[in-house]
A and B are shown apart, each in its own frame.
Chain A
Amino acid sequence: EAGVVQSPRYKIIEKKQPVAFWCNPISGHNTLYWYRQNLGQGPELLIRYENEEAVDDSQLPKDRFSAERLKGVDSTLKIQPAELGDSAVYLCASSSGRGRETQYFGPGTRLLVL
């Protein structure tokens, strides 16, 4: 079974530029998470989807961050415009969604904003 797929693996951009990250969850997993991991810290949740619905986006900086999960499968996380402080690893995870299932993580996208 294929794991969570993320692309790109690395992205370097200049501040004020837009950037987008893509995630394909494990087949059949209807819950999808985006986490941000700053250097030397544990991941923190940005947004959680149940199918197409964003059920927890309380930690998403909505002035510059947006996310979508069309058709309840793949998801895209966007930052526009990027700031220096957005440099981090962005992790996508998925679970089967019955509320008590383990979350499986993708390899992450390392973003560097110059």
Chain B
Amino acid sequence: AQTVTQSQPEMSVQEAETVTLSCTYDTSENNYYLFWYKQPPSRQMILVIRQEAYKQQNATENRFSVNFQKAAKSFSLKISDSQLGDTAMYFCAFMKHRGAQKLVFGQGTRLTINP
């Protein structure tokens, strides 16, 4: 079975700073997908960024980028120029390429951006 671990329960940074959230996972699969979802206090789970394991290039979406290290089974999220609206729970998630199309989530990291 796949597992996802987020070792940072909480993080706090000042507005405009850069912050990196950590995620490691365990799987015997070779092809899979990794995601970062954001969940603000409103509870709506919003996709931040997605990475396909067979792609070596790290995914980027504006201020959000990932550092995908397949051999190390590591998938960290970097937020540049952080904004107050980035305050939320961030969940790392794994999905197999084949078979059960379910997301396996980590425990989450609560990120607070301070003014």
Contacts and interface: CB of A to CB of B under 8 A. Distances in A.
Given A41-B108, A42-B107, A105 B100 contact: no
A31 interface: yes
A20 B50 CA distance: 32
B43 A89 contact: yes
Contacts of B103: 35, 43, 45, 103
Given A91-B45, A110-B43, A40 B107 contact: yes
A104 interface: yes
Q: For this complex, into which size category does the number of interface residues on chain A fall?
A: 20 to 34
Interface in A43-94: 43-45, 48, 56, 89, 91, 93
A93 B25 CA distance: 23
B16 interface: no
Contacts of B56: none
B102 A42 contact: no
Interface of A: 31, 33, 35, 40-45, 48, 56, 89, 91, 93, 95, 99-100, 102-108, 110
Interface of B: 4, 33, 35, 37, 42-47, 50, 91, 93, 97-98, 100-103, 105-108
Given A43-B103, A91-B45, 8 more contacts: A33-B102, A41-B107, A42-B91, A42-B106, A43-B45, A43-B105, A105-B46, A107-B43
